[in-house]
């Protein structure tokens, strides 16, 4: 099933997308809906009664981030083989990671699948990263990899954006100074969607094709088999350190083709359109707009 949030930013409601119509869910906020122990059974009942439910035409409303206000928005950095390979010539003698590198973004960076992305005045190096977003569906702590599947709600497309010059602190002379969190947390730096697609829609373990286009030019073209640490490892690893709650998002890693490593670099500018698509999950498309 495909779960969406719809309406004005900051006041979205939770819904189920069926064909081209949205059926309202009984709890307005998607995170609150996923926190209900029987949310899967509720979806089955709502879907069974869909013919008699009041529906909203999909095209008549804005889609927001499927989970607009998660407790946590975690990122697996440098977590694809191809991304590590493209970084090699720039980052000399790069070694494969022994454990996942977990970063984070502010949850306020989330925006809808077709919202404009704001180009901040502070950066000249705005970059995209297509990633599979995994949404937690059941509270968990210290779970093993074999248990992960039972604790997931589903997947969504994520464009995990960064202001590279800010992230890498090019304004600082101190080589240890890094500000990943700020560089990745500007408002609108995390378009997600178009829906949270529940796990039952997928064959577990089957690679999903991933593709990014900027103004129609293919920039990233890979699949989820490129992940260095897979979904089971990432979720289990994060759960050793912290409780994961329903609605929490773990962004799993981006393949080669980011703007930073292009020759010459292909950073985004106002007016650019970025389309990110993952097989079976859907596509998001966002226009870059100058701040103000």
Kindly report, residue by residue over 26-82, the tens digit of the pLDDT.
888 999 999 999 999 999 999 999 988 989 999 999 999 999 999 999 999 999 999
pLDDT of residue 92: 65
25 pLDDT higher than 80: yes
Cα–Cα separations (whole angstroms), residue 110 to 115, 117, 285: 10, 10, 14
Residue 128: Cβ within 10 Å count: 30
209 pLDDT higher than 80: yes
Q: Report the range of poorest mean pLDDT among 161-165, 177-181, 265-269.
A: 177-181
196, 278 Cβ separation under 8 angstroms: no
209-214: strand order across its sheet: 117-119, 282-290, 273-278, 209-214, 217-223
pLDDT of residue 255: 97
* Mean of pLDDT values over 107-114: 98
User: What confidence tier does 208 reach under pLDDT thresholds 50, 70, 90?
Assistant: very high
pLDDT of residue 163: 97
Give me 13's structure tokens: 């409601």
DSSP label at 16? E
- The three-class DSSP label of residue 70 is coil
Dihedrals φ, ψ of 261, to 5°?
Answer: -100, 5
pLDDT of residue 253: 96
* Mean of pLDDT values over 75-98: 84
User: What confidence tier does 108 reach under pLDDT thresholds 50, 70, 90?
Assistant: very high
* Mean of pLDDT values over 191-206: 97
pLDDT of residue 7: 96
Q: How many residues are listed for the chain in this entry?
A: 292
186 pLDDT higher than 70: yes
Q: Which residues contact 189 (CB under 8 A, 6 or more apart)?
A: 105, 109, 117, 160, 161, 162, 163
91 pLDDT higher than 70: no
Mean pLDDT, the chain, rounded, equals: 95
Cα–Cα separations (whole angstroms), residue 200 to 138, 196, 197, 229, 292: 15, 12, 8, 22, 42
In 3D space, the residue among 1, 39, 33 whose CA is nearest the CA of residue 19 turns out to be 1
In 3D space, the residue among 172, 141, 158 whose CA is nearest the CA of residue 252 turns out to be 158
Rounded to the nearest angstrom, the gap between the alpha carbon of residue 134 and the centroid of all alpha carbons in its chain is: 8
Domain 67-290 = CATH 3.90.850.10 = yes
Share of the chain above pLDDT 90, in %: 88
pLDDT of residue 89: 73
């Amino acid at each position: 099933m495909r779960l969406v949030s719809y309406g004005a930013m900051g006041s979205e409601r939770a819904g189920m997308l069926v064909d081209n119509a949205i059926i309202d869910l009984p709890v307005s906020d998607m995170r609150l809906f996923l926190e209900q122990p029987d949310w899967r059974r509720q979806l089955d009942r709502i879907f069974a009664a869909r013919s008699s439910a009041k529906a909203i035409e999909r095209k008549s409303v804005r889609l927001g981030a499927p989970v607009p206000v998660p407790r946590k928005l975690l990122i697996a950095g440098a977590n694809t083989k191809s991304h590590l390979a493209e970084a090699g010539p720039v980052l000399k003698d790069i070694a494969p990671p022994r454990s996942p590198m977990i970063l984070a973004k502010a949850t306020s960076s989330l925006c809808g699948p077709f919202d404009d992305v704001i180009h901040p005045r502070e950066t000249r190096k705005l970059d995209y990263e297509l990633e599979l977003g995994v949404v937690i569906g059941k509270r968990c702590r210290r779970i093993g990899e074999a248990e992960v599947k039972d604790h997931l709600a589903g997947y969504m497309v994520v464009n995990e954006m960064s202001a590279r010059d800010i992230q890498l602190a090019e304004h600082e002379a101190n080589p240890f100074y890094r500000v990943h969190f700020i560089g990745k947390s500007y408002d609108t730096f995390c378009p997600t969607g178009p829906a949270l697609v529940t796990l039952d829609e997928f064959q577990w373990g089957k690679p999903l094709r991933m593709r990014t286009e900027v103004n129609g030019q293919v920039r990233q073209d890979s699949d989820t088999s490129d992940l260095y640490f897979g979904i089971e490892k990432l979720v289990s690893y994060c759960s050793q350190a912290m409780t994961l709650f329903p609605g929490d998002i773990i962004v799993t890693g981006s393949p080669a083709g980011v703007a930073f490593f292009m020759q010459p670099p292909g950073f985004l500018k106002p007016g650019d359109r970025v389309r990110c698509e993952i097989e079976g999950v859907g596509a998001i498309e966002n226009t870059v707009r100058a701040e103000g």
